[in-house]
């Protein structure tokens, strides 16, 4: 490691040569540097005033980029249950206590080819995706981009269901899709510039009466990224009819996906069993798995079915 500067302002630039990288909680960055052997100069964001501040206003709730995942899980449970449940379900208590909202959105892919010190891929400066001809058991089931690995951010998936916006040092009001892109540039996990800092995430005002559920299908009990994950928000009227709903999934595509076909089937229903089954089946639409990821299409339907069952019970 070439050195660390604790920033006290987002635009502070130390007079050092070589590669500069930002660090928030460091849970992704430090592991990546350890496995790849990189030695950039680290710009630690934790000294910037307001980095982890949360503000509630009539226009919504603003989370400083440094708000920890554990804080999201605990403090936002009443107002933003879909986000809080997702936060509570990811990684481990130790990671959640340190990992931040900004770092979660901007973490790099978990693909083992990318993280391998002696292999190259699109995202590590190469010109191919070795997972395609190699092992891609944890790859995408919606094969829509050159890189075959899904985006790892669970919070991005949940933030999609709130149509949350993101501010950076360069721009404001970005959607999650503006930050993550669509995967068509296989060298990028996000579209922020090298000197651009994610500063805030803004959620709309809480939706009264919102119910939410989150479920992940995972290869072991915890401390692992999900194979497939899904989150659902619904607002129902007094007769139990769904007046608004949002469903998103992760682990299956180059970026987390909202599922409008599923949402359309649920909206106006009472979440009866037949509608839930049809909606879960609709989650498969457009899937075109890789040779090793066909199982994810089955898992996607089952995971969405589980999350819908949970939200109606």
Ligand X SMILES: Cc1cc2nc3c(=O)[nH]c(=O)nc-3n(C[C@H](O)[C@H](O)[C@H](O)COP(=O)(O)OP(=O)(O)OC[C@H]3O[C@@H](n4cnc5c(N)ncnc54)[C@H](O)[C@@H]3O)c2cc1C
Instruction: Summarize as ranges the residues that interact with ligand X (CB under 6 A).
Output: 21-29, 45, 65, 90-92, 95, 98-100, 102-104, 106-108, 152-155, 192, 197-198, 223-226
CB of 265 to ligand X, least distance (A): 27
Residue number with the shortest CB distance to ligand X? 103
Provide, rounded to whole angstroms, the least separation between the CB of residue 270 and ligand X: 32
Distances (CA, A) of 312 to 112, 143, 305: 38, 31, 11
CB 209 within 8 A of CB 215: no
Nearer to ligand X, 130 or 152 (CB): 152
Q: How far apart, in whole angstroms, are the C-alpha atoms of residue 12 and residue 177?
A: 28
What is the C-alpha separation between 134 and 46, in angstroms, rounded? Answer: 39
Q: Of the two residues 150 and 282, which places its CB atom closer to ligand X in the complex?
A: 150
Element (H, E) at 213: strand 211-217
- Tell me whether residue 33 or residue 261 sits nearer to ligand X (CB atom): 33
Nearest distance, CB of residue 179 and ligand X, angstroms: 10
Kindly tell me which of 25 and 139 has the beta carbon lying closer to ligand X. 25
Q: In the chain, how long is the greatest CA-to-CA distance?
A: 64
Report the Cα 294 to chain-centroid distance in Å. 22
Nearer to ligand X, 93 or 268 (CB): 93
Shortest distance, position 266 Cβ to ligand X, whole Å = 25
- The β-bridge partners of 161 are none
Radius of gyration of the CA atoms of the chain, in A: 19
Shortest Å, Cβ 220 to ligand X: 10
């Amino acid at each position: 490691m070439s050195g660390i500067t604790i920033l006290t302002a987002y635009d502070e630039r130390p007079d050092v040569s070589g590669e500069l990288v930002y660090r928030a909680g460091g849970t992704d960055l430090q592991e990546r540097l350890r496995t790849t052997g990189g030695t950039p100069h680290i710009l630690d964001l934790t000294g910037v005033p307001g980095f982890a501040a949360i503000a509630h206003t009539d226009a919504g709730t603003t989370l400083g980029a440094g708000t920890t995942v554990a804080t999201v899980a605990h403090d936002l449970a009443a107002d933003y249950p879909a986000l809080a449940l997702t936060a509570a379900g990811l990684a481990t208590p130790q990671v959640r206590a340190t990992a931040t909202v900004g770092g979660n959105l901007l973490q790099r892919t978990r693909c083992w080819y990318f993280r391998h010190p002696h292999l190259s891929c699109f995202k590590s400066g190469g010109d191919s995706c070795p997972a395609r001809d190699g092992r891609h058991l944890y790859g995408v089931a919606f094969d829509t981009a050159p890189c075959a690995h899904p985006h790892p951010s669970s919070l991005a998936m949940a933030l999609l269901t709130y149509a949350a916006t993101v501010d950076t040092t360069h721009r404001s009001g970005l959607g999650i899709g503006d930050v993550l892109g669509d995967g068509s540039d296989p060298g990028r996990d996000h579209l922020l510039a090298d000197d651009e800092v994610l500063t805030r995430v803004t959620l709309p005002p809480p939706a009264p009466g919102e119910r939410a559920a989150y479920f992940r299908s995972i290869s072991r009990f915890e401390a692992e990224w999900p194979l497939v994950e899904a989150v659902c928000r619904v607002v129902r009227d007094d007769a139990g009819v769904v007046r608004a709903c949002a469903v998103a999934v992760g682990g299956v595509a180059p970026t987390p996906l909202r599922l409008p076909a599923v949402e359309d089937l649920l909206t106006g229903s009472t979440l009866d069993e037949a509608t839930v089954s049809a909606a879960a089946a609709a989650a498969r639409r457009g899937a075109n798995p890789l040779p090793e990821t066909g199982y994810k299409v089955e898992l996607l339907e089952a995971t969405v079915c589980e999350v819908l069952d949970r939200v109606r019970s």
